[in-house]
Protein backbone atom coordinates (compact mmCIF):
# COMPACT_ATOMS: atom_id res chain seq x y z
CA UNK A 1 0.00 0.00 0.00
CA UNK A 2 1.40 3.38 -0.95
CA UNK A 3 0.24 5.22 2.20
CA UNK A 4 0.19 4.95 5.96
CA UNK A 5 -3.51 5.47 6.75
CA UNK A 6 -2.73 6.75 10.23
CA UNK A 7 -1.73 10.15 8.82
CA UNK A 8 -3.74 12.82 7.04
CA UNK A 9 -3.40 13.03 3.25
CA UNK A 10 -4.54 16.17 1.45
CA UNK A 11 -4.57 16.16 -2.33
CA UNK A 12 -5.91 17.89 -5.38
CA UNK A 13 -8.20 15.74 -7.48
CA UNK A 14 -6.09 16.06 -10.63
CA UNK A 15 -4.73 13.45 -13.01
CA UNK A 16 -1.11 14.10 -11.98
CA UNK A 17 -1.50 14.40 -8.20
CA UNK A 18 0.71 11.96 -6.26
CA UNK A 19 -2.18 10.55 -4.21
CA UNK A 20 -4.33 10.06 -7.32
CA UNK A 21 -1.57 8.37 -9.31
CA UNK A 22 -0.74 6.09 -6.38
CA UNK A 23 -4.33 4.87 -6.03
CA UNK A 24 -5.43 4.61 -9.67
CA UNK A 25 -4.13 2.85 -12.74
CA UNK A 26 -3.30 4.94 -15.82
CA UNK A 27 -6.44 3.58 -17.51
CA UNK A 28 -8.61 4.58 -14.54
CA UNK A 29 -7.11 8.07 -14.62
CA UNK A 30 -7.82 8.29 -18.35
CA UNK A 31 -11.44 7.20 -17.81
CA UNK A 32 -12.16 9.79 -15.09
CA UNK A 33 -14.76 12.23 -16.39
CA UNK A 34 -14.21 15.31 -14.23
CA UNK A 35 -11.15 16.74 -12.44
CA UNK A 36 -10.75 19.58 -9.95
CA UNK A 37 -9.87 23.00 -11.41
CA UNK A 38 -10.14 25.31 -8.37
CA UNK A 39 -6.83 24.13 -6.91
CA UNK A 40 -6.36 27.09 -4.56
CA UNK A 41 -9.83 26.89 -3.01
CA UNK A 42 -10.02 23.45 -1.39
CA UNK A 43 -8.36 20.06 -1.18
CA UNK A 44 -9.63 16.54 -0.96
CA UNK A 45 -8.52 14.65 2.12
CA UNK A 46 -8.20 11.27 3.75
CA UNK A 47 -7.65 11.34 7.50
CA UNK A 48 -7.65 8.63 10.15
CA UNK A 49 -10.12 10.05 12.66
CA UNK A 50 -13.33 8.60 11.20
CA UNK A 51 -12.97 5.75 8.71
CA UNK A 52 -16.59 4.56 8.57
CA UNK A 53 -17.94 4.65 5.03
CA UNK A 54 -14.53 5.08 3.35
CA UNK A 55 -14.90 8.87 3.67
CA UNK A 56 -13.41 11.51 1.44
CA UNK A 57 -13.20 14.92 3.08
CA UNK A 58 -13.23 18.39 1.52
CA UNK A 59 -11.07 20.98 3.27
CA UNK A 60 -11.36 24.65 2.27
CA UNK A 61 -7.92 26.26 1.96
CA UNK A 62 -6.85 27.82 5.22
CA UNK A 63 -9.14 25.63 7.33
CA UNK A 64 -7.20 23.95 10.14
CA UNK A 65 -10.13 22.53 12.09
CA UNK A 66 -9.73 19.06 13.52
CA UNK A 67 -13.42 18.14 13.59
CA UNK A 68 -16.60 18.38 11.52
CA UNK A 69 -14.79 18.51 8.20
CA UNK A 70 -17.20 18.19 5.24
CA UNK A 71 -17.21 14.61 3.96
CA UNK A 72 -18.91 12.08 1.73
CA UNK A 73 -19.49 8.37 2.32
CA UNK A 74 -18.15 6.41 -0.66
CA UNK A 75 -18.74 2.93 0.73
CA UNK A 76 -22.45 2.84 1.52
CA UNK A 77 -23.77 5.12 -1.21
CA UNK A 78 -24.47 3.58 -4.61
CA UNK A 79 -24.79 6.74 -6.70
CA UNK A 80 -23.06 9.77 -5.26
CA UNK A 81 -24.48 12.08 -7.92
CA UNK A 82 -27.98 11.29 -6.70
CA UNK A 83 -27.22 11.31 -2.98
CA UNK A 84 -24.97 14.38 -3.03
CA UNK A 85 -26.84 16.52 -5.54
CA UNK A 86 -26.88 19.49 -3.14
CA UNK A 87 -24.02 20.81 -1.03
CA UNK A 88 -26.29 20.58 2.01
CA UNK A 89 -26.35 16.78 1.60
CA UNK A 90 -22.59 16.59 2.22
CA UNK A 91 -21.91 16.01 5.92
CA UNK A 92 -20.90 19.26 7.68
CA UNK A 93 -21.56 21.48 4.63
CA UNK A 94 -21.34 24.82 6.45
CA UNK A 95 -17.55 24.90 6.29
CA UNK A 96 -17.81 24.65 2.52
CA UNK A 97 -20.63 27.16 2.07
CA UNK A 98 -18.90 29.70 4.34
CA UNK A 99 -15.55 29.45 2.52
CA UNK A 100 -16.26 28.72 -1.15
CA UNK A 101 -18.08 30.61 -3.89
CA UNK A 102 -20.94 29.07 -5.87
CA UNK A 103 -18.75 27.97 -8.81
CA UNK A 104 -16.41 26.14 -6.44
CA UNK A 105 -19.35 24.47 -4.69
CA UNK A 106 -20.82 23.49 -8.07
CA UNK A 107 -17.47 22.01 -9.06
CA UNK A 108 -17.44 19.75 -6.00
CA UNK A 109 -20.96 18.53 -6.85
CA UNK A 110 -19.97 17.97 -10.49
CA UNK A 111 -16.90 15.98 -9.47
CA UNK A 112 -19.02 13.82 -7.17
CA UNK A 113 -21.63 13.29 -9.91
CA UNK A 114 -19.31 12.76 -12.87
CA UNK A 115 -16.38 11.00 -11.16
CA UNK A 116 -18.19 8.97 -8.50
CA UNK A 117 -16.78 5.63 -9.65
CA UNK A 118 -13.24 7.04 -9.56
CA UNK A 119 -13.74 8.49 -6.07
CA UNK A 120 -15.13 5.17 -4.81
CA UNK A 121 -12.17 3.24 -6.22
CA UNK A 122 -9.67 5.64 -4.65
CA UNK A 123 -11.35 5.60 -1.25
CA UNK A 124 -11.73 1.82 -1.18
CA UNK A 125 -8.07 1.28 -2.05
CA UNK A 126 -6.94 3.87 0.46
CA UNK A 127 -9.02 2.58 3.38
CA UNK A 128 -8.41 -1.12 2.66
CA UNK A 129 -4.70 -0.57 2.00
CA UNK A 130 -5.02 -2.10 -1.47
CA UNK A 131 -2.65 -1.31 -4.30
CA UNK A 132 -4.11 -0.67 -7.76
CA UNK A 133 -3.81 -3.64 -10.10
CA UNK A 134 -0.67 -3.82 -12.18
CA UNK A 135 -1.50 -3.18 -15.79
CA UNK A 136 0.56 -3.84 -18.87
CA UNK A 137 1.69 -0.92 -20.93
CA UNK A 138 -0.84 -0.01 -23.57
CA UNK A 139 0.16 -0.29 -27.18
CA UNK A 140 -0.88 2.54 -29.46
CA UNK A 141 -1.32 2.38 -33.18
CA UNK A 142 -2.41 5.19 -35.48
CA UNK A 143 -3.82 5.39 -38.98
CA UNK A 144 -1.53 7.39 -41.23
CA UNK A 145 -4.50 8.52 -43.33
CA UNK A 146 -7.23 9.65 -40.88
CA UNK A 147 -5.04 9.83 -37.71
CA UNK A 148 -7.44 7.64 -35.67
CA UNK A 149 -5.70 6.15 -32.62
CA UNK A 150 -6.15 2.52 -31.61
CA UNK A 151 -5.14 1.26 -28.15
CA UNK A 152 -4.47 -2.44 -27.57
CA UNK A 153 -6.25 -3.06 -30.84
CA UNK A 154 -6.79 -6.38 -32.51
CA UNK A 155 -6.95 -5.28 -36.14
CA UNK A 156 -6.32 -8.64 -37.75
CA UNK A 157 -3.28 -9.48 -39.83
CA UNK A 158 -0.84 -6.88 -41.10
CA UNK A 159 -0.17 -6.50 -44.79
CA UNK A 160 3.27 -7.11 -46.36
CA UNK A 161 4.38 -3.65 -45.19
CA UNK A 162 3.42 -4.25 -41.53
CA UNK A 163 0.33 -2.06 -41.70
CA UNK A 164 -3.22 -2.88 -40.62
CA UNK A 165 -6.60 -1.90 -42.03
CA UNK A 166 -8.18 1.11 -40.30
CA UNK A 167 -11.66 0.34 -39.01
CA UNK A 168 -12.50 4.04 -39.31
CA UNK A 169 -11.49 4.97 -42.87
CA UNK A 170 -10.80 1.53 -44.37
CA UNK A 171 -7.25 2.31 -45.53
CA UNK A 172 -4.32 -0.01 -44.80
CA UNK A 173 -2.37 2.73 -43.04
CA UNK A 174 -2.45 1.70 -39.36
CA UNK A 175 0.94 1.11 -37.78
CA UNK A 176 2.41 1.10 -34.25
CA UNK A 177 3.40 4.46 -32.77
CA UNK A 178 6.71 4.28 -30.98
Mean of the pLDDT values across residues 21-49? 92
- Gap between the Cα atoms of 95 and 93, Å rounded: 6
Decide if 2 is inside a domain: no
Q: What is the CATH number of the domain that holds 176?
A: 2.20.28
DSSP characters over 141-166: EEETTT--EEES-------TTS-B--
Residue 4 has a CB neighbour count (10 Å cut-off) of: 9
Do 92 and 140 lie in one domain? The reply is: no
Decide if 17 is inside a domain: yes
Residue 73 pLDDT exceeds 60: yes
Mean of the pLDDT values across residues 78-105? 95
Residue 1 pLDDT exceeds 90: no
Residue 98 has a CB neighbour count (10 Å cut-off) of: 9
Do 45 and 98 lie in one domain? The reply is: yes
150 phi, psi to nearest 5 deg: -125, 130
Do 33 and 103 lie in one domain? The reply is: yes
Decide if 1 is inside a domain: no
- Gap between the Cα atoms of 163 and 42, Å rounded: 49
Range of the domain at 168: 136-178
The total number of structural domains in the chain stands at 2
Do 123 and 145 lie in one domain? The reply is: no
Extended strands (E) in 9-165: 9-11, 42-46, 56-60, 71-72, 140-143, 149-151
Residue 176: the pLDDT is 82
- Gap between the Cα atoms of 10 and 39, Å rounded: 12
pLDDT digits (tens, 9 = 90+) for 117-164: 999 999 999 998 888 887 666 677 888 888 887 765 667 778 888 888
Decide if 54 is inside a domain: yes
Decide if 36 is inside a domain: yes
Amino acid sequence: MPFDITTQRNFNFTANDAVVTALLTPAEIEECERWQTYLDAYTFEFHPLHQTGYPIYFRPDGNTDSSNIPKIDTKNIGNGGTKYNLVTKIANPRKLTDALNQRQLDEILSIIKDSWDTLKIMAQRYWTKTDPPVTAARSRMQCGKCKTNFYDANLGAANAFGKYTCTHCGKQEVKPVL
